[in-house]
Structure 1
Amino acid sequence: MTATSPDTRSLHLPAGSAAAGDYAVEVTPESAGWTRSGLRVLDLPAGGRHVLDTGPDEVLVVPLQGGATVTCDGEVLRLAGRSGVFAGPTDFAYLPPGSTAELSSADGGRFALCSARARRRLPVRYGPAAGVPVELRGAGTCSRQVNNFATAGAFEADAIIACEVLTPGGNWSSYPPHKHDETSEAETELEEIYYFEVAPGPQGQAGLAYHRVYGTPERPIDVLAEVRDRDVVLVPHGWHGPSIAAPGHDLYYLNVMAGPGPERAWRIVDDPDHAWVRGSWTGQDVDPRLPLHAPTRHQQNGATRP
């Protein structure tokens, strides 16, 4: 990474601490102290509208709760969305750099605007929920679900890589700890944002989770964060994981990544002190609570021209 890394205190952003203007969360390359990745979270009331200038970034509009209509470059994309992040994969919209888009929501909702500095200008596109590859990763208490909606092999983009991870209460994910902060045959350099939502208890009790980031002697970094609903953790470099879901509270996080290299790929290396754990999964079943959503009715592409 060429930019100066932010200090440890700025890497855990509790809910509300990164709010700016219309956004409940605003992380830009400039505010993060790096060069590529960004995230905004927009809350729209019923009937609300928001105008977004993408500037130098490609942007993914990802409904976290509710649906929206996105108008950009003469295209109208109708996102059915979902009732919440634990309700299954969602459809989404891709917006190119140098565009002005309008987001509107008849019933209101919460929307992640995932971004990355882009070199190419690809067209506006709709990503259907039915096309999102859902992967069950790990086994036993390391079981988790990954919605690979905008990973390199699932959706074409210039630089951005994004996915959702759902971890049943009591399980560990982002484990074994791994990193992607160098360019090699085994690794790609990627800045990463974690945006968390934590399922409440049966009477609405607030939940919690834990997230770890640590570095190497050459590039130290040290974060052990108790994360709550709608917190953010930034990973500029170093080993990251585990993300630990407290018993009784399922955990969701949205990962947004991009890097300076010309290759859009997500290659990682495990911390050698913990890599052995992958072998321990052999013969274990995936947690039967997964996939962590009821079957959903996938919506078809709602793109039309005005």
Structure 2
Amino acid sequence: MAMLLAQANAQTTGSQPIVQVTPERAGWTYTGFEVYRLKKGESIRREASGVELAVIVLEGTCHIRAGGEAFSSVGMRTSVFEDKSPEGVYAPPGTEVEVEAATRCEVAVATAVTEEGTGPVRRITPADIPYERRGEGNTRRYIRHILDEHHPAAKLLLVEVVTPAGNWSSFPPHKHDTESAEEAYLEETYYHRLHPSHGQAWQRVYDKQGLDEVLTPRDGDVVMVPRGYHPVTAPPGFSSYYLNVMAGHHRTWKFQIDHDFQHIAPKDGNIMGKVEQPR
């Protein structure tokens, strides 16, 4: 389980991903993830064969063509830590997607293995993305629901989270690795960014059957969560950003909180905070 961390190659640019996770690499069934850093004029092409796909423009601006549709000037923020929502494009299986950088940009490509999608190709705009304040005190963090259960898709779930320096996130520790009335199986990746970028976060991935890994992802690294609980902390002096990609047998986010932390969990078990209209 020491392979739960995929380290970024920050020197990679252009058509090669700086970090990549495939189902084969992770040893699971559905979830894939990769990130590209493009200079103006550079482009990437992806064929969504056997997967549904979401391109999320994390930083900068891109032109995206998919399934005969052309979306110009996608993306509007200069940093993932800027108080703005991202933009992107969703593509069902069988769609060819091309991304061309209009400025220097960072682009995430999230995939889920499926023969079914929820078409058509569409642009994901800030107006589509609810904003949530979750937690209190040193568990406060800020969440943007890019592609959740209320948005059409077959498998993919996408959220991004900003955690202030010194705070905890993905907390209380929870898991979603079995199928039951109370829980859904979801494979999950965490794409970590730090501000300042020379920092690191801490993430523990553990269960009650012997899995126990404490990982220290740096800027651009990806943590894979095949099972177990997976809390994150941002050390003092470094703000944390992460993009979550989840996919599983069914497209629903149901989880179980670690019983050791039930005394601080909401009595109804719902860790969701105040969800606001998109902004």
The TM-score with structure 1 as length reference comes to 0.82
1:86 alignment partner, SS class: coil
Q: Which has the larger radius of gyration?
A: 1
Match of 1:38 in 2: 32
Contact 1:61 1:94 in 2 (8 A): yes
Partner residue, 2:270: none
Mapped pair 1:211 → 2:211:
no
CA contact (8 A) 2:6 2:20 kept: no
CA distance in 2, matches of 1:99, 1:132: 23
Task: State the match for 1:304 in structure 2.
Answer: none
Give the match's secondary structure for 1:94.
strand
AA in 1 matched with 2:98: E
Residue of 226, 236, 241 corresponding to 1:247 = 236
Q: Is the 8 A contact 1:211 1:226 kept in 2?
A: yes
How far the C-alpha of 1:221 sits from its partner, in A, is: 1.6
| 1:233 corresponds to | 223
Match of 1:277 in 2: 264
- Contact preservation (8 Å) 2:6, 2:21: no
| CA deviation string 1:42-78 (max 9, x = no partner) | 1111111111111111111111111111111110112
- Give the whole-Å Cα distance in 2 for the aligned partners of 1:196 and 1:238: 19
1:80 equivalent in alignment to 2:70: no
What corresponds to 1:13 in structure 2?
A: 6
For the 8 Å contact 1:151–1:161, the answer to whether it is kept is: yes
Q: What is aligned with 1:170?
A: 166
Cα distance in 1 for residues equivalent to 2:166 and 2:257: 22
Residue pairs, 1:24-63, within 5 angstroms: 24-63=18-57
User: Residue 196 in 1 paired to residue 189 in 2?
Assistant: no
Cα distance in 1 for residues equivalent to 2:102 and 2:75: 11
2:247 aligned to which of 258, 270, 275: 258
Partner letter of residue 214 of structure 2?
Answer: L
SS for the counterpart of 1:16 is: coil
Return structure 1 stretches of 4+ with deviation > 3 angstroms: none
Report if aligned partners of 2:146, 2:159 keep a CA contact under 8 Å in 1.
yes
SS at match of 1:81: strand
Deviations 1:111-167 (A, max 9, x none): 0001111231321011111221001111110011111110112x1100011100110
Q: In structure 1, which of residues 147, 150, 158 is the aligned counterpart of residue 147 of structure 2?
A: 150
User: Alpha-carbon deviations, 1:220-261, whole Å to 9, x = none?
Assistant: 3221011211111100011111x10111211000100101x2
CA offsets, 1:22-45, max 9 Å, x none?
111111111111100010101111
Instruction: List runs of 5+ in structure 2 lacking aligned partners.
Output: 268-272
Alignment root-mean-square deviation, CA: 2.1
C-alpha displacement at 1:279, in angstroms? 4.6
**C-alpha distance in 2, partners of 1:216/1:120?**
35
Q: Distance in 2 between matches of 1:276 and 1:64?
A: 36
Q: Distance in 1 between matches of 2:266 and 2:46?
A: 46
SS in 1 for 2:36: strand
- Structure 2 CA distance, aligned partners of 1:189 and 1:95? 23
1:221 match: 211
- Once residues 49 and 233 of structure 1 are traced to their aligned partners in structure 2, the CA distance between those partners, rounded to angstroms, is 26
TM-score, length-scaled by structure 2: 0.90
More strand per residue? 2
Aligned to 2:265, what secondary structure does the other structure show? helix
Amino acid at match of 2:226: P
> How many matched pairs?
266
Contact 2:55 2:90 in 1 (8 A): yes
Unaligned runs of 5+ in 1: 1-7, 281-285, 299-306
Percent identity, please: 36
Q: 1:206 to 1:102 in 2, by over 3 A?
A: same
Tell me which amino acid in the other structure corresponds to 1:195. Y
Distance 1:74 1:15 in 2: 32
**Structure 1: distance between partners of 2:40 and 2:67:** 24
